[in-house]
């Protein structure tokens, strides 16, 4: 059922891992295990609960691998919206202002909620972990400490009253309620959106670690001043290219969508210039293979750098969603299948990582960070291509947009610059006139101008996207903000929109 591929086979394609430099004064410690954390945001799709649990059992039985997941749940899916118009349980959640309702929908029916309760309990009993993804999936970056307190209070109130609120009679299997209720230690902020007011609230509700931040691939966890562990997503540096990728499926989806549009604008059913962010739900087999290969390559690189390097935990954050015809979902499981049975790898829950780091002194963690231990020798054949130093600087006046390539790799021969506007591509050399952009774009609309730098083989190595408001009108305005920087900045609005036609997660 799960494709087995040889780990060493792909390592042939990777290049030398640069040895992490141990601090000269750091005393050597024992080599730590390689933690790999696989987490899901959401909780809506019961078939994903079932599949992931089955995968874990299959790994145990057939690969002798102990794979445990952490599920960051939204209790709006423990309430339901009744489409027949009958009384439903949505009213039991009140979102903190300025929000109302839920950003990601609700459960479908009493029966649907009941099944989800069983899935969550069974996952917990099988050794997986349940964490919190807040309730209504709102962007908390505007919330005060009081609002965060209200949201967490709602979270537990729904868990504690799930049967009452839904008019459900607990089955014999359910009569002890939600079994994980008092073992929720972890949090990921929806949209990775938080405010200063969030941090003091987390420990008050028993949250001991947070997964809402981003950091370097080789980051070893530390605690903030409230005592909360920081288990961030990684910013993966692509080999043989200059971009970084957040180790979360949705962020891949946003960038991959832009690349696919450029490669095949004529068949872009979403509309090449559609504002906002869209993840393709279905793609061709060829496109699927392309995005899968890219993500697998980046995850493998991330893993290899750490496994043969300083052993910093590897964080993979995905959703209950089948974007790109399921490409990311497949990579999630294929990657787990590849790495979790390797020596010294622990594909455990976030709490297992927390227990590990809490058993170590700050000095030991500092020694890990410095890589002050005998590293696992990388296979001689292993190659990881270098990450490029290449940035795009844009300057605009009322006549043109000028793009300057900066960094050590900017002078490489054979680099091409391709501009994509409104589903049309054109090659440029450093600048494009507004007149030409107007010819490609749609009059009066906000228009995205994307520049891709391609290497001599046509592979994108750096990209940037800028917005021109009111193209061609007297209100025409070029924004200097590269909106792709947001794509490196966590998981974005709309992350749960395409789970199915009506729901988030
Ligand atoms: Zn989310």
Class for domain 391-474, per CATH? mainly beta
CA of 5 to the centre of ligand 1 (A): 30
Neighbouring CB atoms inside 10 A of 433's CB total: 12
- Strand-pairing partners, residue 467, are 448
What is the C-alpha to C-alpha distance for residues 199 and 358, in angstroms, rounded to an integer?
A: 19
List the end-to-end C-alpha distance of the chain, in Å, as a whole number: 25
CA of 137 to the centre of ligand 1 (A): 6
Whether the bond between 98 and the residue before it is cis, its omega within 30 degrees of 0, is yes
**Is 310 in contact with 368 (CB distance < 8 Å)?**
yes
Between helix 285-307 and helix 323-339 the angle, nearest 10°, is 30
- Beta strand pairing call for 400-406 and 431-433: antiparallel
What is the C-alpha to C-alpha distance for residues 182 and 61, in angstroms, rounded to an integer?
A: 30
CA of 134 to the centre of ligand 1 (A): 9
**Is 206 in contact with 229 (CB distance < 8 Å)?**
no
Instruction: For the chain, give every domain's residue range.
Output: 1-45+233-344+363-387+486-505, 68-212, 391-474
- Beta strand pairing call for 209-210 and 186-187: parallel
What is the C-alpha to C-alpha distance for residues 192 and 493, in angstroms, rounded to an integer?
A: 9
What is the C-alpha to C-alpha distance for residues 136 and 122, in angstroms, rounded to an integer?
A: 24
CA of 421 to the centre of ligand 1 (A): 30
CA of 39 to the centre of ligand 1 (A): 11
CA of 175 to the centre of ligand 1 (A): 29
Q: Report the pLDDT value the prediction gives residue 4, as an integer from 0 to 100.
A: 44
**Is 474 in contact with 398 (CB distance < 8 Å)?**
no
CA of 45 to the centre of ligand 1 (A): 13
CA of 177 to the centre of ligand 1 (A): 25
**Is 447 in contact with 467 (CB distance < 8 Å)?**
yes
CA of 104 to the centre of ligand 1 (A): 9
- For residue 230, CA distances in Å to 67, 154, 222, 369 come to 22, 24, 6, 14
Q: Is the dihedral of CA 369, 371, 373, 377 positive or negative?
A: positive
Q: Report the pLDDT value the prediction gives residue 496, as an integer from 0 to 100.
A: 56
CA of 408 to the centre of ligand 1 (A): 37
pLDDT-flagged residues of the chain (< 50): 1-23, 266-277, 497-505
Q: Report the pLDDT value the prediction gives residue 321, as an integer from 0 to 100.
A: 85
Q: Report the pLDDT value the prediction gives residue 444, as an integer from 0 to 100.
A: 83
Using DSSP, state whether 155 is helix, strand or coil: helix
CA of 318 to the centre of ligand 1 (A): 9
CA of 251 to the centre of ligand 1 (A): 12
Q: Report the pLDDT value the prediction gives residue 472, as an integer from 0 to 100.
A: 87
Q: Report the pLDDT value the prediction gives residue 278, as an integer from 0 to 100.
A: 59
Q: Strand runs (DSSP E) across 289-446, as ranges?
A: 314-319, 345-346, 391-396, 400-406, 416-421, 424-428, 431-433
CA of 190 to the centre of ligand 1 (A): 4
Give the residue carrying structure tokens 């920087």: 485
Query: What single DSSP character describes residue 80?
Result: B
- Beta strand pairing call for 416-421 and 424-428: antiparallel
Query: What single DSSP character describes residue 380?
Result: T
- Beta strand pairing call for 400-406 and 424-428: unpaired
Phi then psi for 415, rounded to 5 degrees? -75, 140
CA of 30 to the centre of ligand 1 (A): 37
Q: Report the pLDDT value the prediction gives residue 100, as an integer from 0 to 100.
A: 94
Our separate counts of H helices and E strands in the chain read 12, 19
Q: Report the pLDDT value the prediction gives residue 491, as an integer from 0 to 100.
A: 53
Give the residue carrying structure tokens 């002078």: 411
CA of 496 to the centre of ligand 1 (A): 6
**Is 51 in contact with 336 (CB distance < 8 Å)?**
no
CA of 494 to the centre of ligand 1 (A): 9
How many residues in total does the chain contain?
Answer: 505
Among candidates 439, 440, 434, 405, which has minimal Cα distance to 420? 440
What is the C-alpha to C-alpha distance for residues 154 and 97, in angstroms, rounded to an integer?
A: 13
CA of 381 to the centre of ligand 1 (A): 39
Concatenate the DSSP letters of all residues of 425-464 into one string: EEEESSEEEHHHHHHHS-TTS-EEEEEEEE-TTS-EEEEE
CA of 133 to the centre of ligand 1 (A): 7
- For residue 426, CA distances in Å to 263, 438, 451, 462 come to 12, 13, 10, 16
CA of 323 to the centre of ligand 1 (A): 14
Strand order in the sheet with 233-237: 214-216, 233-237, 244-246
Q: Is 290 left (phi over 0), alpha (psi -120 to 50) or beta?
A: alpha
**Is 472 in contact with 438 (CB distance < 8 Å)?**
yes
Concatenate the DSSP letters of all residues of 197-208 into one string: THHHHHHHTT--
CA of 254 to the centre of ligand 1 (A): 15
């Amino acid at each position: 059922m799960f494709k087995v591929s040889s780990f060493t086979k792909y390592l042939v394609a990777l290049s030398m891992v640069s040895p992490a430099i141990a601090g000269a004064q750091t005393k050597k410690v024992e080599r730590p295990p390689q933690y790999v954390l696989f987490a899901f945001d959401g909780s809506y799709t019961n078939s994903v609960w079932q599949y992931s649990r089955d995968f874990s059992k299959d790994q145990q039985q057939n690969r002798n691998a102990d794979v445990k997941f952490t599920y960051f749940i939204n209790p709006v899916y423990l309430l339901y919206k009744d489409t027949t118009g009958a009384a439903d349980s949505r009213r039991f959640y009140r979102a903190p202002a300025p929000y109302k309702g839920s950003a990601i929908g609700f459960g479908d029916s009493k029966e649907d909620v009941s099944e989800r309760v069983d899935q969550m309990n069974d996952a917990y009993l099988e050794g997986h972990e349940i964490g919190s993804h807040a309730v209504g999936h709102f962007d908390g970056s505007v919330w005060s400490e009081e609002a965060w307190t209200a949201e967490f209070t709602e979270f537990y109130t729904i868990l504690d009253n799930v049967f009452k609120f839904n008019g459900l009679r607990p089955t014999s299997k359910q009569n002890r309620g939600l079994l994980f209720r008092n073992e929720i230690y972890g949090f990921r902020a929806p949209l990775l959106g938080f405010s200063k007011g969030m941090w003091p609230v987390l420990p008050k509700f028993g949250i001991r670690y947070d997964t809402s931040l981003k950091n370097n691939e080789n980051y070893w966890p530390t605690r903030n001043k409230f005592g909360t562990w920081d288990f961030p997503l990684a910013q993966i540096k692509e080999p043989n290219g200059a971009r970084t990728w957040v180790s979360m499926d949705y962020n891949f989806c946003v960038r991959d969508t832009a690349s696919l549009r450029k490669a095949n604008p004529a068949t872009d059913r979403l509309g090449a210039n559609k504002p906002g962010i869209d993840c393709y739900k279905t793609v061709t087999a060829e496109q699927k293979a392309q995005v899968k290969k890219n993500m697998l390559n980046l995850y493998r690189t991330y893993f290899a750098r750490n496994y043969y390097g300083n052993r910093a935990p590897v964080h993979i954050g995905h959703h209950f969603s089948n974007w790109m015809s399921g490409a990311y979902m497949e990579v999630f499981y294929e990657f787990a299948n590849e790495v979790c049975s390797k020596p010294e790898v622990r594909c455990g829950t976030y709490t297992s990582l927390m227990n590990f780091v809490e058993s170590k002194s700050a000095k030991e963690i500092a020694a890990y960070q410095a890589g002050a231990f005998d590293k696992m020798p990388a296979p001689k054949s292993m190659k990881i291509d270098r990450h490029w130093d290449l940035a795009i600087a844009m300057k605009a006046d009322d006549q043109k947009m000028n793009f300057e390539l900066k960094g050590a790799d900017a002078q490489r021969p054979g680099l091409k610059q391709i501009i994509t506007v409104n589903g049309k591509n054109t090659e440029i050399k450093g600048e494009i006139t507004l007149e030409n952009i107007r010819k490609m774009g749609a009059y009066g609309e906000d228009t995205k101008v994307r520049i891709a730098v391609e290497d001599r083989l046509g592979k994108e190595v750096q990209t940037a996207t800028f917005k021109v408001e009111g193209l061609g009108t007297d209100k025409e305005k070029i924004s200097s903000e590269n909106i792709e920087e947001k794509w490196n900045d966590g998981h974005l609005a709309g992350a749960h929109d395409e789970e199915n036609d009506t729901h988030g997660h």
